[in-house]
Amino acid sequence: MVDELERSADDPEVMEFLGGAHATIARFASMLADEGVTRGLIGPREVPRLWSRHLLNSAAVASFLPPSGTVVDIGSGAGLPGVVLAALRPDLDVVLVEPMERRTVWLRHVVESLGLPRVEVVRGRAEDLVGRWGADVVTARAVAPLDRLVPWTLPLLRTGGVLLAMKGDRAVEEVAAAQAVIASHGGGDVQVISAPSIPGCGTTVVRVRRVGPIPSAPRRAKRR
């Protein structure tokens, strides 16, 4: 495996993998390494591994996005993966959902600075925005375990839409623990997939398709 510290904006493999979105994502990387640190959105120790652990990791999800439609990224935080996906797929409508005001201020600043016209920033919690969209995809990175994430996200999807949850080594265990919750909230066709990227920079994605109706009074999972 390639050491993640070796990856940078001028790495030829990075440039090839990101294609036409490289310049935009490189600008985003510069913003994260500067303002993102001073605003407390990422820790200074993350800067040396910003590309491999965060940006390329997020970019790997793009291969699972549909040809057209709306992507809702919940708990967007610093803009991962939502901003990266918007840069890679400017043909999609992307909504960045974030409950904290200081983070939504940052996200609007990033969207304006990078010139991403089809990106909307919404302040709020996913569970309070049910009915606002019939999204084709909902993405989530480091938001919550699946048993809590599913009740927040599946109601935002149209029937046939998918949740793409970026997970780590315990993805299979999380799926097993959340089976009953997934089924009771209209989910099915659950897959644990390795998302492709350049060597050493991929991620694991849990894909859950909404295949049935949502309960009329969904259980509101308590946030911790």
What is the residue whose two structure tokens read 């049935």?
212
Q: Which helix (H) or strand (E) holds 194?
A: strand 187-195
C-alpha 42/C-alpha 51 separation (Å) is 13
Q: CA 135 → CA 148, 149, 167, 223, distances in Å? A: 19, 16, 21, 23
74 bridge partner residues: 97, 140
pLDDT, tens digit only, all 224 positions of the chain: 334 446 889 999 999 999 999 999 999 999 999 999 999 999 999 999 999 889 999 999 999 999 999 999 999 999 999 999 999 999 999 999 999 999 999 999 999 999 999 999 999 999 999 988 899 999 999 899 999 999 999 999 999 999 999 998 899 999 999 999 999 999 999 999 998 888 888 899 999 999 998 876 544 555 54
Task: Give the tokens for residue 174.
Answer: 């999380």
- Taking the domains of the chain in order of start, what are their residue ranges? 61-210
Task: Give the tokens for residue 100.
Answer: 């904290």
Q: Please, what sign has the CA dihedral across residues 114, 121, 181, 64?
A: negative
C-alpha 71/C-alpha 137 separation (Å) is 5
The arrangement of secondary structure in 61-210, i.e. its CATH architecture, is: 3-Layer(aba) Sandwich (3.40)
Provide the whole-model pTM. Answer: 0.91
